[in-house]
Structure 1
Amino acid sequence: MKNTKLSYIFALFFLALSLTGAFLASLIERDFGRIDVTTVSFMTVENKPMVAKLYRPISATAETPKPALLALHGYQSDKEATSTFGALELAKRGFVVLAIDHFGHGYSTQLPAANKNMSGANNGYQYLKTLPFVDKDKLGIFGHSTGGLNAIRVAKLNPDHKAVNGLSSSAGDNELHNYLLTQGLYEEIGGYREKSFPVKALIHHESRLTAVGLSTNDTLQWDHTYGNREDGSARRVALVDGSHLGVMIAKQSNKEAILWFNQTLQNGLQDQDWINPDEQTYWYKEFAGLFALFAALVSALCLANALLKNAYFSAITQTVTHKMAISKTTWKLFALVNIVATIILYPIFTQWGGANEPIASVLPFMPLEMGNGIVLWLVVSAVINLLFFVLWKKGSTISLREFGVFTNNSSLTTFNLISRSLLLAILLTAWLYAIASFVHTYWGVELRFLWPLLKPLTAERMDLFLVYWLPILFFFFVFNGLIISVQMKQKNGKSFTSTLLTWTIKTSIFAAGGLVILWLFHFIPNFMQIGPGFDVIGLPQFGGRWMMMLAVIIPQFIIFSLINHWCYLKTGYIYLGVFFTSILMTWILVGGQVIGRFLV
């Protein structure tokens, strides 16, 4: 009873830490009272709602209107990401900033993403102009990646704009007024570096020279401003020491945007809102969000620890066997096979997801574009792993009851074992969902770090949950359950903590090792200015966004391995870990992936 009470106390303690982190993130986002930040929803010309975050400096009123900017996130992202590449830092310096969720992204889900209407980007610009505290004569637009392309499209439709900043975008043209291109030195997506490499060689590229008003015989100068700001002909290409995602989170990107819009929309004036461009706080907000996310997950595990001591849930626990199903030598061999399989399967099958993928066009109930590629890779991997497991099990004498696949309790059926494990996983998820909903509703922040993670779901996204959970559950049952916890179960350590850490480290090596090798293969040559690995060998279709996504997928796999091992060590059965991690991954996938254009 004492240990149960202590577990509840720890659950509440980490809950308090999570709420503290989220509240701190909201304070930083509001610059401790200097910015009014609100989530707004407005009807578009398509008669569908668009959701956005509005940053209004307190100094911006109907009597003292301020210059205003439309902030556009990139593909697979959402409005929260704009705080890392300008929204927060510009609002702190006297700009009204409207950061929209493009259609199909974030909370703007009643219409899918589509190039035809720029995923609603122009709707955001029109709404921005209706705000009474906005100076209609000083309007600008900035965006990253696809958002940068949409910024150009919106600008061309609206000649009343005064300045544009495209981050990891195209070179632009003479229709744009005062255009700043923020270029990544290690840009991995071919379309944003004129499909050439190295990036530094772009100083001689015809399209780049033409875009800034130079002849093809000239040489482009990085970080040099061409043209005249007063007549809108100013052009600048700022070179940032970063990759595609690196540009989105670089301090230099923010500094370039601050100075550019200060000069083009504020005439270089530094009023009471001005802050030195080098004094930036967006990273503090992101780390506060990461702290809140981490504390929320620990709180959920503490809650699980308490509930597992309850009579109803304690029935689904047993002592973890000390046996290993295979020898150390065989374990290493199987780990190597899995690493090689990952290296082969990930690039091939993820390609079936994306803007031109066929799955969503054939199966409209699965509209997550890149999400479909991830799910297909997981399902194919699960099928192959299951076949290997079945073949291996035929020659093995281990007891699946002892290893936690079937009940080892005469008073508990396997069905009850599974159903109670599922119920506990749902309760833990509900706990996390309540935290995520609270901080979003009252403080306007999310449990995230740089990327959409644990977000409250719109009705459209909630409808997709079961569709995507079933194939993801299949993968986690096979891989986290049968493979990691049975076939490749590791030696028990001297303590719970040492066992958990050792198991997680070793599992991460073979579960995410292949992904790490792929990332290194693609990016090491890129950072050496040779070119992205898959581009170098003539297979650029396997690079680009899919290698870029590994920066998100690899940490998730490691955390899921940790949670899965924790659940197995606590219960002795595979099911709590399988259910909880599969639900978490589905939540992240369904909540953050773009709902694609095949629903148009």
Structure 2
Amino acid sequence: MNPKLFRNLLYIALAMILIGGLLASAVQTDFGRVTIKDVRFAAPNGRLYSALLYIPKGVSAEKPAPGILAIHGYINSRETQDGFAIEFARRGYVVLALDQSGHGYSEGPAFADGFGGIEGLRYLRSLDIVDKNNIGLEGHSMGGWAVLIAASVFPDGYQSVVLQGSSTGTYGAPDGTPEFPRNVAVVFSQWDEFSGLMWGTPRAADVGKSDKMKALFNTQEDIQVGKIYGDINAGTARVLYQPRVSHPGDHLSQVAIGHAIDWFQKTLQGGNPIPASSQIWYWKEIGTLIALLGFFLFLVAAGGLLVEVPYFKAIVDPLPAAKGLTGWGWWLGALLTAAIGPLTLFTFTTWAGKIFKASWFFPQNITTQVTFWAVLNGLISLALLLLWHFLLVKKSERGGGDEYGLTWNGKLNWVKIGRSFVLALCIVLLGYATLLVTDFLFKTDYRFWVFAVKLMSPTHFAIALRYLIPLFVYFFLASLALFAQMRRADFGLWKEVAVNALIFIVGYTALQLVQYIPMWTRGMLFDPTQPLWTIIGYQFIPILGLAGALTTFFYRKTGRIYTGAFLNALLFTWIVVAGTATHFPL
């Protein structure tokens, strides 16, 4: 293929990364009116915490401003709160967007120090630019529990609270009473997946009927949405808001973010009187999405150019003959490939949660569960491939290791396999370099909503090495099965890339629809016992879609499965490890 095409793609990719970064940076700094600092601070026990500190222009020790502590939920990070933090800072509040313990760049384990909320509030109150008599607390999901614990430790250290998709009296958070917490707004969406856990009601729309919330609001009647109960001046004010979004949808909802803005404007003194409806945060989300897409395009473009380098050109072989399924058999194979992963997701991850506990070797529970599910799926794919190969294909029509992209003249070529790994490593390192530059210039990463490509800390690098080999096993076996059974001689490069990406994601898209159509129609997930993995399942769509595209592209470029399998293992181990929680102290 003409290298000029890949040079042009590279220029486009870099332009997207640059434009996206510029846009995101401009919006999150309110076009120069807010300074953002990446801060680290130590708890009394020595545990190091990470946060983004938003400082509005004109704020100083002589002119302190109201402060807000904003904390994300489980397996997210400080950047997930960007929509809230940007809008709070635009209105003149100093905002500390904290990485919970064991999340992002804060040291682990997860759940330590009251999820990190205690130390976050302690640090915010230590800043001389913050009006210590005028502090608000905002937390999403588990971040709500974090700010409630902080409020209980510093009962006179805050003025009001916004619980986004969260609750009192859950997982160590103190119970709500008519007096605690002070001036609280509960923003609990109508389609929140965690209503059972949070408030004890199967349907999120019914949380206002729960005894738990009635105790908080000091009433025996069902809570009326939007009505303020109690007295702001006395610190007993309570209000319930219910936007029409899901639990993670709070982060993409102008309504949910607007309720938080409005409540702090009612309960904190000072700041800029910008209407709650005037919001710009979504342009930052658009900017980081443009950069994210540019990053994905960069990987393809960089790989397309690197394979032309003499060292790597040695691994480029002609495409072997297609020996896979044909006719209706191909469609059945596509259906099985698409369905096996989603059908086993909830079961296998549940098994893993019971079998594996956080340890020095596998310190991230979610990553361990994903890895267990992935390896079992790889073994299922291998078993089905062997059954098909030996039982359903005539011996005279069977492919071999060469046709399946595994061998060269019937033998493994370790030199070419090694160079395939070096090629994949170079592509990932170049992609990582673009993120380093983006972080340095713009203080942003590549993300959209709950899916993010983040820089790794030294701890993340050490953790990634432990998960890399089992995740490579999955991508290797998945690629082997894909190209042994699903290759079609009538598909060109880009058509095969698109079809395989679609095969990899259509099942997870269907799983989301199966779960959420009942939520939208009757207020409950189809399987209400799996809210966490339903939400995690959002990320399987971009991850596996990209994996299907990359493995196909590099198979077509090299004639073998190795480069794509190595690349996917390196790339997605990085993404998953950097983007989830660490449960064992390292």
Tell whether the structures are fold-level matches, with TM greater than 0.5: yes
Q: How does 1:10-409 map to 2 (within 5 A)?
A: 10-84=9-83, 86-109=84-107, 111-114=108-111, 116-160=112-156, 161-171=158-168, 172-173=176-177, 174-215=179-220, 218-266=221-269, 273-321=272-320, 323-352=322-351, 357-361=354-358, 363-395=359-391, 396=393, 397-408=398-409
Q: 1:310 to 1:288 in 2, by over 3 A?
A: same
- Which residue pairs with 2:172 in the alignment? none
Distance 2:218 2:305 in 1: 67
Distance 1:162 1:68 in 2: 10
Deviation at 1:169, TM superposition (A): 0.7
- In the alignment of these two chains, the number of paired residues is 572
Q: Give the aligned residue type for 2:259.
A: E
| 3-state secondary structure, aligned to 1:32 | coil
Deviation at 1:567, TM superposition (A): 1.3
Contact 2:554 2:563 in 1 (8 A): yes
Distance 2:497 2:205 in 1: 46
Deviates more, 1:556-565 or 1:97-106: 556-565
Contact 1:181 1:237 in 2 (8 A): yes
Deviation at 1:193, TM superposition (A): 4.7
Deviation at 1:391, TM superposition (A): 2.8
Q: Give the aligned residue type for 2:210.
A: H
Deviates more, 1:192-201 or 1:51-60: 192-201
- Which residue pairs with 1:514 in the alignment? 507
Q: 1:193 to 1:51 in 2, by over 3 A?
A: closer
Q: Deviations over 1:300-328 (max 9, x none)?
A: 22121112122221221223245242222
Contact 1:469 1:582 in 2 (8 A): yes
| 3-state secondary structure, aligned to 2:70 | strand
Deviation at 1:587, TM superposition (A): 0.6
Q: Give the aligned residue type for 2:110.
A: A
Q: Give the aligned residue type for 2:50.
A: V
Matched, 1:570 2:557: yes
Contact 2:403 2:484 in 1 (8 A): no
| 3-state secondary structure, aligned to 1:405 | coil
| 3-state secondary structure, aligned to 2:357 | helix
Sequence identity (%): 28
Deviates more, 1:415-424 or 1:312-321: 312-321
Distance 2:523 2:448 in 1: 30
Deviation at 1:452, TM superposition (A): 5.1
Deviation at 1:9, TM superposition (A): 5.3
Distance 2:495 2:508 in 1: 25
Distance 1:154 1:459 in 2: 29
Distance 2:212 2:5 in 1: 65
- Which residue pairs with 2:493 in the alignment? 496
Contact 1:186 1:241 in 2 (8 A): yes
Q: Deviations over 1:533-569 (max 9, x none)?
A: 113xxxx1xx110011111112211121112111112
| 522, 526, 533: which one aligns with 1:529 | 522
- Which residue pairs with 2:171 in the alignment? none
Q: Give the aligned residue type for 1:496.
A: L
Deviation at 1:47, TM superposition (A): 1.0
Q: Give the aligned residue type for 1:188.
A: E
| 3-state secondary structure, aligned to 2:408 | coil
| 3-state secondary structure, aligned to 2:332 | helix
Q: Give the aligned residue type for 2:103.
A: H
Contact 2:251 2:449 in 1 (8 A): no
Deviation at 1:530, TM superposition (A): 4.5
Deviation at 1:501, TM superposition (A): 2.5
Contact 1:322 1:492 in 2 (8 A): no
Distance 1:62 1:289 in 2: 33
Distance 1:455 1:206 in 2: 41
Distance 1:90 1:125 in 2: 16
Contact 1:492 1:499 in 2 (8 A): no
Deviates more, 1:273-282 or 1:319-328: 319-328
- Which residue pairs with 1:487 in the alignment? 485
| 3-state secondary structure, aligned to 2:135 | strand
- Structure 1 vs Structure 2 CA RMSD: 2.1
Q: Give the aligned residue type for 1:531.
A: M
Deviation at 1:133, TM superposition (A): 1.0
Q: Give the aligned residue type for 2:292.
A: L
Distance 1:166 1:440 in 2: 30
Deviation at 1:196, TM superposition (A): 1.8
Q: Deviations over 1:143-167 (max 9, x none)?
A: 1000011111111111121000010
Contact 2:551 2:564 in 1 (8 A): yes
Contact 1:26 1:444 in 2 (8 A): yes
Deviates more, 1:14-23 or 1:454-463: 14-23
Contact 2:205 2:523 in 1 (8 A): no
Contact 2:69 2:138 in 1 (8 A): yes
Contact 1:402 1:408 in 2 (8 A): no
Q: Give the aligned residue type for 1:221.
A: Q
Q: 1:201 to 1:400 in 2, by over 3 A?
A: same
Distance 1:137 1:280 in 2: 27
Deviation at 1:372, TM superposition (A): 1.3
Unpaired runs of at least 5, structure 2: 169-175
Q: Give the aligned residue type for 1:195.
A: G
Deviation at 1:17, TM superposition (A): 2.7
Distance 2:437 2:527 in 1: 43
How does the TM-score come out when normalised to structure 2? 0.93
Matched, 1:561 2:548: yes
Deviates more, 1:168-177 or 1:247-256: 168-177
Contact 1:146 1:169 in 2 (8 A): yes
Contact 2:400 2:410 in 1 (8 A): no
Contact 2:248 2:450 in 1 (8 A): no
Q: How does 1:432-511 map to 2 (within 5 A)?
A: 432-451=431-450, 453-479=452-478, 481-493=479-491, 495-505=492-502, 508=503, 511=504
Contact 1:168 1:192 in 2 (8 A): no
Q: Give the aligned residue type for 1:517.
A: A
Q: 1:6 to 1:241 in 2, by over 3 A?
A: closer
Distance 1:261 1:241 in 2: 21
Q: Deviations over 1:407-440 (max 9, x none)?
A: 2599xx6112211111010000000111111211
Deviation at 1:238, TM superposition (A): 0.7
Q: 1:452 to 1:326 in 2, by over 3 A?
A: closer
Contact 2:16 2:293 in 1 (8 A): no
Q: 1:10 to 1:342 in 2, by over 3 A?
A: closer
Q: 1:531 to 1:5 in 2, by over 3 A?
A: closer
| 3-state secondary structure, aligned to 1:453 | strand
| 3-state secondary structure, aligned to 1:377 | helix
Distance 2:298 2:337 in 1: 32
Unpaired runs of at least 5, structure 1: none
Q: 1:334 to 1:496 in 2, by over 3 A?
A: closer
